[in-house]
Amino acid sequence: MNRFNSTVSVDEYLADSNVLFYLSDAVTQLLEHKEEYTQFGVIRYFAEYFSSVKNSNHVLFREYNYIRATPHNRASFIRVFWRCYRQIGKSGDLLSMLEYRSLLQLLCPDFPVEMVQSAARIVLMDDAIDCLMSFSDFLYAFQLQFYYQEFLDSVLMIYQDLLAGKSPNTVIVPTSTSIEQLPSVAAEESDKERQQQDGVEPSTLAQCIDALCDRFKHSHPSRSCMREILEETDKVCYYSFLMSLAKHETINQTIGVLPNKAELLIDPEMDQELDKLIAQISVSPSSNSSGSAVGGLKEMQRRASPRRNIHHRRKMEVESDGSTEETDSSEN
């Protein structure tokens, strides 16, 4: 939203931009770490905090409730995940759901496994979620699931009602306040056989989704994109619908943090830093090479996050010094 648009009220702008949320968090962080931050000065602290929000570096190592609190935070975390682990996709490695969970928890220690499982089900079409997945497939599915979580949970409820044989007139369109009433994991497993059927009528699902969009308070994918996908098939299953959404370029452009799939693994700046690091290790095979590698990793992290939060600088330095050890321990 343009803050200079005279037709937008002050209250509407503050609500849509989440300025008050970030101001409250900045004050809370300042009070909780007062002794550490006063040496930098309060004005500099707030300048650094909001610069990090603007540059999408503010979500590193924060709690899950924070990184999902606003659309900007969600988009920023998706971007951080991509930038941190892009090399995995470039090397062609296939990872399991648990391995992706470990990578996510290096960035957000309390990141829930349920979110990772939901993203894996999109990639694997709800088959065995212990299968291996490519980085690009998981990333786009994770982006859809994480950014539009509340909406997708509501669509799942509608889909399950339609599978149960309820007519469109009796299907209850959930609101953002009814999402907590989602079925348990056990109930999802009991419904799995029914979800393996041919699916539901696309026109019926489209009608229910359209009604959901009219009432939904959170972000949701473009109606035209969803309608386009549903019009391409005679029957639609929930996870095939989500996979089509995850691959849709318009959805990706709307969120606005990931490049298209052809350019996903291209990052010349990061490649140059990696080449420098490899060159340092090759030239210095002695005991000093480890120190050079650590120095290179530090420099690479500085380039990736040029404006880090004051209140995370010390923590991030520790993280970069021990990044290899943490990755190894996360796989155990």
Q: pTM (2 decimals)?
A: 0.74
At 56, list the tokens.
Answer: 């999408």
Cα–Cα distance, 57 to 76 (Å, whole number) = 7
Model pLDDT, residue 238: 95
- The answer, yes or no, to whether residue 292 has pLDDT greater than 60, is no
Cα–Cα distance, 189 to 195 (Å, whole number) = 10
The stretch 71-99 carries a mean pLDDT of 92
- Is the distance from CB of 174 to CB of 214 less than 8 angstroms? no
b/e map 111-128, b = 16+ CB within 10 Å: beeebbbbbbbbbbebee
Model pLDDT, residue 301: 43
Q: In whole angstroms, how far apart are CA 279 and each of 226, 274, 282, 283, 290? A: 48, 8, 5, 6, 13
**For 41-112, where are the alpha helices, taking DSSP H only?**
42-54, 64-67, 71-91, 97-107
Cα–Cα distance, 2 to 229 (Å, whole number) = 31
Our separate counts of H helices and E strands in the chain read: 20, 2
Model pLDDT, residue 170: 66
Cα–Cα distance, 266 to 261 (Å, whole number) = 10
Model pLDDT, residue 167: 73
- The answer, yes or no, to whether residue 36 has pLDDT greater than 90, is no
H helix or E strand, kind and range, residue 94: strand 94-95
